[in-house]
Amino acid sequence: MGARLQGKVALVTGAGGGIGRSIAQRLAAEGAALVLLDLHDDAMGELAEALRRGGTPVSTHCADVADAQQVRAAVEAARAALGPVDCLVNNAGLTAVIAPLERMGDEDWARELAVNLTGPFHLIRAVLPDMVARRWGRIVNISSAAARGGLFRQAGYSASKSGLLGLTRNVTLEYAAQGITCNAILPGLIATPTVEKLPPPVFDYAMSTTPARRPGRTEEVAALVAFLCSDEAAYLNGAEIDIDGGSRLCPAVLGSTREVAERLALAQGQHRTA
């Protein structure tokens, strides 16, 4: 693996989670110094120590991305520790409630939008001045396949991740001429600890509608993030990149009774694959 990000400072939110952890590890392997931001310090401690043992400069910060003041303080502290942020990865996300829309409470709705949409806005706004001054910056927003197709009984999550695509487009329109790229990644089902705890019938059904017939790996998302943060991706801007094993495609089968039977069997859990 090369050192495409040598000399760069990368900030990863939600760094203690499955995808965030893999992103941090990959960016460190590419040579970046790491700013890890998460709501809970214990989620970052082990990761930070492992990265430091490998020779990566690391600065950790506890902050709620939904709180503008906490975000500003964290970015300022990170700047003092490692220097201005060159690459921002807005990975922190939340699903506050899974329920029919009519039963979604005001606080739950507000919290999901605050973390999943307003949070990235806070981070982008905080790092942009330094990026503009240096005429170089990389912003990667982790959205979701739900941003395009919706997600059953997860209206807040779907709406907030869709809004993140609009934010991505506007950053590109306003700042591309100043050497800054802003792209969105739309993961499908990724094998995080949360996904691994899904009830088998739910997992099997998701796999039956995914052409790849497996969940994605966090390392695969991290590899895409690393590319988008590199100089090689300088002309890729305002893009919405699916990483979903083809699950965004129409899953209907009208020309093969055998394939229909195999999918029904998979959905019923008769031959679960991972």
Among all residues, which ones are annotated catalytic? 157
- Other beta carbons within 10 angstroms of residue 27's beta carbon come to 27
Q: Tell me the average pLDDT of the chain.
A: 93
Q: For the domain 9-198+213-249, what is the CATH superfamily, name and number?
A: NAD(P)-binding Rossmann-like Domain (3.40.50.720)
3-state SS assignment for residue 235: coil
36, 64 contact by CB (below 8 A) = no
Q: What does the pLDDT look like over 189-241, one tens digit per residue?
A: 999 988 888 998 899 989 988 999 999 999 999 999 999 999 999 999 999 99
Residue 273 has pLDDT above 60, yes or no: no
User: What tokens does 10 get?
Assistant: 């990368």
Sequence spans of domains, the chain: 9-198+213-249
Which residues are paired to 180 by β-bridges?
137
pLDDT per residue as tens digits for the range 43-101: 789 999 999 999 999 999 999 999 999 999 999 999 999 999 999 999 999 987 888 99
Q: Which residue matches tokens 């910056």? A: 137
Percent of the chain having pLDDT more than 90?
77
Residue type, 187: P
Give tens-digit pLDDT for 126-140: 999 999 999 999 999
Measured from the Cβ of residue 84, the count of other Cβ atoms closer than 10 Å reads 16
Nearest to 78 by CA among 64, 66, 63: 63
Global pTM reads 0.93
Query: What is the pLDDT, as a whole number, of residue 271?
Result: 47
Contacts of 25 (CB under 8 A, 6+ apart): 47, 51, 222
